[in-house]
Chain A
Amino acid sequence: MITSFFLRALEGRIVAMVAVLLGFAVLVPMSNLLLGPDNPLHVPTYVMSLLGKYLCYALLALALDLVWGYCGILSLGHGAFFSLGGYAMGMYLMRQIGSRGVYGDPILPDFMVFLNWKQLPWFWYGFDMFWFAALMVLVVPGLLAFVFGWFAFRSRVNGVYLSIITQAMTYALLLAFFRNDMGFGGNNGLTDYKDILGFSVQSDGTRSVLFALSAIMLALCLILASAIVRSKFGKVLLGVRDAESRVRFLGFRVENIKLFTFVVSAMMAGIAGALFVPQVGIINPGEFAPANSIEVVIWTAVGGRSTLIGPIIGAVLVNGGKTIFTGVFPEFWLFALGGLFVLVTLFLPKGIVGTVAQALAKRRAAQAAETPTHLNGKPQAAE
């Protein structure tokens, strides 16, 4: 049964994307490690970390698409779950530094030493063990999403109100993590990592493994998300998105359905954050900024909402563009980025993937005009 749950996920586009991701997971590290720097196919380490970063963002956008595209919850606070996952991983990496910090304190991270902290705060316990940190990467964002969703969905907060209070949530967390008294390193955040599971985070080998892991994790989450939306549960989910009250009147517990999806999505975002931190080398409260969460929405919209693969493409394209523009037109790149958002919403309202799929569907429909296939009157691709 579980197999069939996942087999159903494997629809054409998803299979293609998974194949591409797995291909990347193998080829990019191989080219980085095996080919010499002079080889034209060689992928330099900095490009690989950059791609790894994009993949983490893509996973975050995928998580958002699950709640926004399929459940109608526009979260403007997904950056919070991402950052919490990142902080959980960052705390593990900080504890791994051990006595190699500048003060050589075996237990306390440097920032605690120079702020005169005498002992480790309770919430740092356990983070010296990888399994515990890995668990927390899922549990902390999941728990926050659960508590937040429990209240919000039960009192039927929805639409714009929900979006704004998710924004309030991430903003409050931003302010809280900026506080040095919180014990998370204030605005400097957590940085200067040395090892992960005994391997140096700076070696090409570790970077390759992290990159491959990001790609594989993204592929797995994509399959999971696809399985969810294509299951019976997924049909109900779409019902919740399009006509919440009708679904409720049919006897479904809408708030539980939403809550489940929200928590799953938050955990995916947490994983994305956890993979992001060792590749980028820093996590700080800036990641909680509401603007970052809005950007995630934009990647998703650019790629195509409710398409699952759209957000991945959108995240990679927008971030790739950002990398290029900030280097090539450092003074004017915001014009390009801002203009892109306006143009995409005006001319590609379904996003890149949605528009392409629509065009394909139209052509197919024209070819088989006599046999209408869409009973609901909507082109399938618009999902």
Chain B
Amino acid sequence: MTIKARIGGAMLAAIMSATALQGAFAAEDTIKIGVLHSLSGTMAISETTLKDVMLMLVAEQNKKGGVLGKKLEAVVVDPASNWPLFAEKARELISKDKVAAVFGCWTSSSRKSVLPVFEELNSLLFYPVQYEGEESSRNIIYTGAAPNQQAIPAVDYLMNSEGVQRWVLEGTDYVYPQTTNKILKAYLMSKGVKEADIMINYTPFGFSDWQTEVSKIKSFGSAGKKTAVVSTINGDANVPFYKELGNQGIKAQDIPVVAFSVGEEELAGIDTKPLVGHLAAWNYFQSVDAPVNAEFIKTWHAFTKNDKRVTNDPMEAAYIGFNAWVKAVEAAGTTDTDKVIDSIVGVSVPNLSGGYSTVMPNHHITKPVLIGEIQANGQFDIVQQTPQVVGDEWSDYLPDSKDLISDWRKPMSCGNFNVKTGKCGGKGS
């Protein structure tokens, strides 16, 4: 052993201890992000999965070295499906835990409940669920579908390739179905469908006795015109609805049902054999044939240690949102909310259907619309895929919102710019 070698060894040791020290510092100095999904109460059924996805994404990102050289740390809280508690927890995450961004919410009510909090405390929320549109906040990035990214392409598909002329718009009585159905009705009538050929019907949350409703659909469908059901029925009520459909013998060939809230996770609770051929419109299905999707599913199965866990559309939206945030933070070089909001517009990240999703100036993203048919194994077979569609926050089919646009880039930086009056602030008066 020569002196040289000894010196080399000492230097190596010094470098190693230096990096170790740095590592120790990094572990202390983490970036916190909030995860605001209900883990108990009625919405736990849908939201718990998204919490798991977020934990997985954080773990994966940390394996790659974190963000800005710091590790990420997820702060999970349980707002317990209670909307005022969502506001309280959001405030806690931002004020007490000082999180850099929050990923969360499922229902529109919860989003509406936390929106003032995010605007007041100037933080950032990534909202991963399809919703009714009619909103654009500077502090929210909407990675789920707006009505034009889900409902309208689905109706187009039924009209063009199944020749549907008569429509049942069946929904749970809350804001998302009400708005979506208003938009769809206006859209269908603009396509020449008569009012008598549209039936709109609402049922309460958690509705479980579908006998009368299904037989109503059956008799509406026997007027000699091809009929379809557009379902905006919410989570829990779907299982009894589909069971009743199956038992009353309504086959997809006779009256197809296209759903906007039924994905792989919801189907996991049903025997899908009688439902083969009924449709769903989403921006992602687990059956998408793309390498990035296969990789995602593999990671998911490994993370949950359960190779039967399905993936679904809100999970993809969470994935896109998280990656967009990471990219925007890296571009801005900081997690400061204002800088991230400036840098996130235009950020383009891979989505799971093999393309790229871009955050638009209206804080919605571009994504393709997929129409899938339910298969006997609980998966969807994709029968149509559109090119990228830009999320339209202000529907063109509602009289009060058709003149509005949103653009959060400077200098406009406005969520409800009226193109007619040329002013920011809605209808203006």
Interface residues of A (CB under 8 A from B): 44-46, 49-50, 53, 99-106, 110-111, 113-116, 175, 178-180, 186-189, 191-193, 202, 280-282, 284, 286-287, 323, 326-327, 330-331, 333-334
- Complex-state Cα separation, A178 to B418, whole angstroms: 31
Return the chain A residue nearest B86 by Cβ: A282
Q: Are A188 and B87 in contact (CB-based, < 8 A)?
A: no
Q: Are B88 and A50 in contact (CB-based, < 8 A)?
A: yes
Return the chain A residue nearest B80 by Cβ: A326
Point out the residues of chain B lying under 8 angstroms from A327, CB to CB.
77-78, 89, 92
Point out the residues of chain A lying under 8 angstroms from B40, CB to CB.
333-334
8 Å CB contact of A53 from B88, B136, B205: B88
A114-B179, A280-B87 known; 6 new pairs, CB 8 Å cut-off, are A46-B95, A104-B416, A104-B427, A286-B84, A287-B84, A327-B78
Return the chain A residue nearest B234 by Cβ: A187
Q: Are B82 and A286 in contact (CB-based, < 8 A)?
A: yes
Is chain A's binding surface mostly helix, strand, loop or mixed? helix
8 Å CB contact of B178 from A45, A180, A202, A334: A180
- Complex-state Cα separation, A281 to B428, whole angstroms: 25
CB distance from B80 to the nearest CB of A (A): 6
- Complex-state Cα separation, A111 to B179, whole angstroms: 10
Return the chain A residue nearest B48 by Cβ: A331
Q: Are A46 and B398 in contact (CB-based, < 8 A)?
A: no
Point out the residues of chain B lying under 8 angstroms from A191, CB to CB.
112-113, 115-116
- Complex-state Cα separation, A189 to B205, whole angstroms: 15
Q: Are A114 and B398 in contact (CB-based, < 8 A)?
A: yes
The number of residues on chain B lying at the interface, defined by a beta carbon within 8 Å of a beta carbon of chain A, is 51
Return the chain A residue nearest B424 by Cβ: A104
CB distance from B301 to the nearest CB of A (A): 21
20 CB contacts below 8 A, A to B, read: A44-B95, A49-B91, A50-B88, A53-B84, A53-B88, A99-B425, A102-B426, A103-B416, A104-B428, A105-B429, A116-B182, A188-B108, A281-B84, A281-B117, A323-B88, A326-B77, A326-B79, A326-B80, A327-B78, A330-B78
Contacts A281-B116, A330-B39: A101 and B175 contacting too (C-beta < 8 A)?
A: no
Point out the residues of chain A lying under 8 angstroms from B205, CB to CB.
178, 187
Return the chain A residue nearest B35 by Cβ: A330
8 Å CB contact of A188 from B175, B427, B429: B175
Q: Which chain B residues numbered 374 to 403 have a C-beta less than 8 Å away from chain A? A: 398-401
CB distance from B364 to the nearest CB of A (A): 15
Say yes or no for B135: interface residue by CB 8 A criterion.
Answer: yes
Point out the residues of chain A lying under 8 angstroms from B400, CB to CB.
103, 105, 113-114, 116
- Complex-state Cα separation, A116 to B76, whole angstroms: 39
Say yes or no for B260: interface residue by CB 8 A criterion.
Answer: no
- Complex-state Cα separation, A333 to B39, whole angstroms: 10
Q: Are B416 and A116 in contact (CB-based, < 8 A)?
A: no
Q: Are B173 and A179 in contact (CB-based, < 8 A)?
A: yes
Say yes or no for B120: interface residue by CB 8 A criterion.
Answer: yes
Point out the residues of chain B lying under 8 angstroms from A326, CB to CB.
77-80, 85, 89
Q: Are A103 and B173 in contact (CB-based, < 8 A)?
A: no
Q: Are A111 and B175 in contact (CB-based, < 8 A)?
A: yes
Point out the residues of chain A lying under 8 angstroms from B89, CB to CB.
326-327
The CB with the most chain A CB atoms within 10 A, among B82, B113, B115, B117, is that of B113
CB distance from A317 to the nearest CB of B (A): 17
- Complex-state Cα separation, A103 to B189, whole angstroms: 24
- Complex-state Cα separation, A101 to B426, whole angstroms: 8
Say yes or no for B415: interface residue by CB 8 A criterion.
Answer: yes
Point out the residues of chain B lying under 8 angstroms from A114, CB to CB.
134, 179, 182, 398, 400-401
Point out the residues of chain A lying under 8 angstroms from B95, CB to CB.
44-46
CB distance from B198 to the nearest CB of A (A): 15
Q: Are A202 and B134 in contact (CB-based, < 8 A)?
A: no
Say yes or no for B204: interface residue by CB 8 A criterion.
Answer: yes
0/1 string, B26-41, CB within 8 A of A gives 1: 0000000000000110
The CB with the most chain B CB atoms within 10 A, among A53, A115, A175, A191, is that of A191
Q: Are B78 and A178 in contact (CB-based, < 8 A)?
A: no
Q: Are B426 and A180 in contact (CB-based, < 8 A)?
A: no
Say yes or no for B356: interface residue by CB 8 A criterion.
Answer: no
Q: Are B83 and A286 in contact (CB-based, < 8 A)?
A: yes
Point out the residues of chain A lying under 8 angstroms from B187, CB to CB.
none
- Complex-state Cα separation, A251 to B173, whole angstroms: 51
| Top 4 A-B residue pairs of the complex, sorted by shortest distance between their CB atoms | A104-B426, A330-B78, A103-B426, A187-B174
- Complex-state Cα separation, A330 to B115, whole angstroms: 22
Q: Are A105 and B426 in contact (CB-based, < 8 A)?
A: yes
Say yes or no for B96: interface residue by CB 8 A criterion.
Answer: yes
Return the chain B residue nearest A49 by Cβ: B91
CB distance from A31 to the nearest CB of B (A): 15
Q: Are B85 and A282 in contact (CB-based, < 8 A)?
A: no
- Complex-state Cα separation, A53 to B84, whole angstroms: 10
- Complex-state Cα separation, A42 to B84, whole angstroms: 25
Q: Are B425 and A187 in contact (CB-based, < 8 A)?
A: no
Contacts A104-B425, A104-B426, A178-B173: A188 and B112 contacting too (C-beta < 8 A)?
A: yes
Q: Which chain B residues numbered 338 to 389 have a C-beta less than 8 Å away from chain A? A: none
